Amino acid sequence: MNRTGNSAMNRANAGAAFRATLKRDLLISVKRRNDILNPFMFFIIVVSLFPIGISPESAMLRQIAAGVIWIAVLLASMLSMDSLYRSDYEDGSLEQLLLSSQPLYLLVFAKNIAHWLVSGLPVILVSPLLAYMLALPAEGYLTLVLSLLLGTPVVGMIGAIAVALTVGLGSRGLILAVITVPMSVPVLIFGTLAVQNSLAGGSPLGYLALLGAMLAAAASLAPVATAAALRISLN
Amino acid sequence: MTEISQDASPLLEVRALTCERGERLLFRDLEFSLDSGQVLQVKGGNGSGKTTLMRIVCGLNDSFEGELYWRGDALGERWDAFHANLLYIGHRLAVNHVLTPLENLRWSCRLHDPADDSGIREALAEMDLAGYEDSPCYSLSAGQQQRVSLARLLLSSAALWILDEPFTTLDVDGVALLENLVARHAREGGAVLITTHHKLVLPRLRTLTLGVAR
């Protein structure tokens, strides 16, 4: 076989491996519903405690709405991180992933996407409902959803690096949060600023563009870092 | 599509391999080579470094000194080409419990070579798992799960098999089946690196015993 034919076939195989990994992870999540439901329920519970704990007055709530939702999203994604890679590490699938002849960062990226689809997306879909409960003014809804759409994958991919670094440790508990939270703070800041800016009548586009830039950087760099961290952890 | 090396250099060659785990020296200046058609059985007591050796050769463990050669080329830069020719089955079977055997194999085959569903079903039938293709793996016994993992041997085109204790939970039929597979792979020009306490009866079987130098 000639060289070009070979590389075209390799690309096709890499694409097939990417799709197979994405499909497998989604399938596992669907079969283990708790992994999806737990962060989702946690998110709803945390947000709904705020009107009870602070004040049911909408004047008060609308000021903290964006921040509360963003913090709850961050905590929920931290919770969902715990299950990422754990069963793959325990049953040896991670070793097979490392031994694949396809690029590891590509397969890691597939796992990132699958994880976001089952843990990030449901939370985003329900966020307008909770924003309504927290009396967020209507002009903030679109910005909130957009900022979450751009921001949650970044948090997920940063978290994946931390998970990959700690996957060999028996009980990682708080370490995960200690690594992930400081790196997620910029996302939190720009996410809430975008919403507040659009509430104040300004344009949120600048902050959303910053979130978009972070997403682009995370999508191109984080899988490579995660892949390297996995190789170290499994050594 | 088992490939047979045309040149004189062996498939796999290990030179001056030294590995320490913590304070303990597992092996020093270990040398061996594996040619196509050969089966090398690694022996040694518990903790003698059999699994570590397997993981080093696979490229999963890099805390060692020494050199590895694949078809005469030093490994280190071209792991990808090596991994395309390697099938590793370790202690941990890479069988996800909530997925069915079919779903498990669909994924693990895609990591290397494309395999279609009919091929996977045939392989499972050959491993005596016909009828279990669509049952979740948690409902299978340990031996059956091992068979699911070993079905990859039938679906792979890799020249080198690295099998770490593949016999542990297999029944008598399973052991015979796997022995046949190993023998067939060697006959067809493949090479097998295997750890087991089981007595293997194979032509051209070589053994390497770890832990005697201590």
Query: CA of A234 to nearest chain B CA: how many angstroms apart?
Result: 7
Write the burial class of residue B16 (CB in 10 Å: 0-12 exposed, 13-18 middle, 19+ buried): exposed
pLDDT digits (tens), chain B, 214 positions:
444 445 567 889 999 899 888 888 888 888 999 999 999 999 988 888 899 999 999 989 888 888 899 988 888 777 888 888 999 999 899 999 999 999 999 998 888 877 788 999 999 999 999 999 999 999 999 999 999 999 999 998 899 999 999 998 899 999 999 999 999 999 999 999 999 888 888 877 888 888 765 4
Using a CB-CB cut-off of 8 Å, the residues of chain A touching B88 are 95-96, 99
Residue type, B77: E
Q: Give the HSE-up count for residue A113: Cα atoms under 13 Å, Cβ half-sphere.
A: 15
pLDDT of res. A124: 94
Tell me which chain B residue has its CA closest to the CA of residue A20. Answer: B107
pLDDT of res. A1: 38
Tell me which chain A residue has its CA closest to the CA of residue B89. Answer: A96
Residues in a beta bridge with B209: B43
Q: What percent of chain B has pLDDT over 90?
A: 50
Q: Residue A15: CB partners within 8 Å, gap ≥ 6? A: none
ipTM of predicted complex: 0.88
Q: Residue A94: CB partners within 8 Å, gap ≥ 6? A: A85, A88, A167, A230, A234
Query: CA of B56 to nearest chain A CA: how many angstroms apart?
Result: 9
Look at B94 and A92 and tell me if their CB atoms are within 8 Å: yes
- Could you tell me the pLDDT band of residue A6, with boundaries at 50, 70 and 90? low
Interface test with A, best of B62, B111, B145 (most A CBs within 10 A): B111
Q: Which of B58, B106, B56 is nearest to B84 (CA)?
A: B58
* A21 interface with B at CB cutoff 8 Å: yes
Rounded mean pLDDT, A146-162: 95
pLDDT of res. A7: 62
Look at B110 and A17 and tell me if their CB atoms are within 8 Å: yes
Is the separation of the CB atoms in A234 and A168 below 8 Å?
A: yes
Interface size between A and B, measured as CB pairs under 8 A:
83
pLDDT of res. B8: 67
Helix pair A58-81, A141-166: axis angle to 10 deg: 30
pLDDT of res. B212: 62
Q: Please give the backbone phi and psi of residue B43, each rounded to the nearest 5 degrees, phi first.
A: -115, 170
pLDDT of res. A8: 63
pTM for this entry: 0.90
Write the burial class of residue B172 (CB in 10 Å: 0-12 exposed, 13-18 middle, 19+ buried): exposed
The CA distance from A221 to A228, in Å, is 11
| CA separation, residue B113 to residues B84, B87, B106, B144 (Å) | 8, 11, 10, 23
Using a CB-CB cut-off of 8 Å, the residues of chain B touching A92 are 90-95
Is the separation of the CB atoms in A187 and A210 below 8 Å?
A: no
The CA distance from A62 to B191, in Å, is 68
pLDDT of res. A84: 86
Give tens-digit pLDDT for A44-80: 999 999 999 988 888 889 889 999 999 999 999 988 8
For B205, the enclosing helix (H) or strand (E) is strand B205-209
CA B65 to chain centre: 22
Give the start-to-end residue ranges of the domains of chain A. 3-233
pLDDT of res. B192: 94
Is the separation of the CB atoms in A44 and A130 below 8 Å?
A: yes
Asked if the model's pLDDT at residue A125 lies above 50, the reply is yes
Tell me which chain A residue has its CA closest to the CA of residue B83. Answer: A101
Asked if the model's pLDDT at residue A2 lies above 70, the reply is no
Give tens-digit pLDDT for B70-111: 988 888 777 888 888 999 999 899 999 999 999 999 998 888
Is the separation of the CB atoms in A233 and A160 below 8 Å?
A: no
Q: What percent of chain A has pLDDT over 70?
A: 95
The CA distance from B110 to A20, in Å, is 7
Residue found by looking up tokens 């699994």 in the block: B51
pLDDT of res. B78: 74
